[in-house]
Amino acid sequence: MKIGFIGLGIMGKPMAKNLIKAGHELIVYDVVAENVEQVVEAGAKAGSSARIVAKSCPVIVTMLPNSPHVKTVVMGENGVLEGAKAGTILIDMSSIAPLASQEIEKACAAKGVKMIDAPVSGGEPKAVDGSLSIMVGGDRSVYNEVKDDILLKMGASAVYCGEIGAGNTTKLANQVIVACNIAACAEAFTLAKKAGVDPALVFDAIKGGLAGSTVMNAKVPMMLEGNFKPGFKIDLHIKDLNNALDTGHGVGSPLPLTAAVMEMMQTLHADGRGQDDHSSLANYYAKVSGAKIGK
């Protein structure tokens, strides 16, 4: 199948490569020429704009940083909707505000374009190995049409969550849990360090019990190594928590833990650590406690 892929950053690049490996013909576009070149080397063709990509492909995948970027790429000048034909399917895999997904879907529907929101979880490692968790909102028939041949070539699961915007609501819930879990790990292992107990031994002792989690297993080793190379950046998690807080305020759902972790991440951003992995929450605790968990 011919697929357009727009947005080739940390996540989009490996996701596009996995579609190529699955036998799809890709036409790709990104504002960063180097990203395009790397995916072209893997077998894709380059498009000169979102409009040109959409004009050539019956299915378009977008993987962009935030709501304004998706709106511009889809609804803006030289965007997807200027090139897409009626019946085109747009799969927006960006993590954006649910209300933005609904707004974009309305614009798509007016042009006869079918849209689902399908944000992902798993970070760069799972994007590379094709084992992302994908959360989908929109028309179930569109989901069924793209699930096996497209979504499950990039992810290990693709779960239908409800109407348009439901995928991004599910992703916000995911990001709240991940952020609070990482913060709890950073807090707990800083406690161990300050109390004179080796955090690595504490990790080995508790990772198989009730406190253990996928987040702990992925992020605590990074804290122990002092390795904050981004799989998912602090600045991107700030964006997601902003969307969660805005959505929570809009529907009357209190998010006090989310707000607390947001302030920790904002402190790290102000300290120049916004491009660190979100496991860098350990550095917030190092700053306020004077003790590093690891190296």
The residues carrying an active-site annotation are: 171
| 8-state DSSP, 119 | -
**Residue 15 to residue 123: CA distance in whole angstroms:** 11
**Residue 199 to residue 190: CA distance in whole angstroms:** 8
Q: Residue 98 belongs to what H/E stretch?
A: helix 98-110
Q: What is the DSSP string of 210-262?
A: TT--HHHHHHHHHHHHT----SSBHHHHHHHHHHHHHHHHHHT---HHHHHHH
Under 8 Å between Cβ of 98 and 169: yes
Q: What is the DSSP string of 26-55?
A: EEEE-SSHHHHHHHHHTT-EE-SSHHHHHH
Under 8 Å between Cβ of 89 and 74: no
**Residue 171 to residue 233: CA distance in whole angstroms:** 16
Residue 87 CA: distances (Å) to CA of 105, 112, 144, 156: 13, 6, 15, 27
Strands 89-92 and 114-117: parallel
Buried/exposed 61-73: b ≥16 CB within 10 Å, e otherwise: bbbbbbbebbbeb
| Cα angle 60-123-216, degrees, rounded to a multiple of 5 | 155
| 8-state DSSP, 149 | T
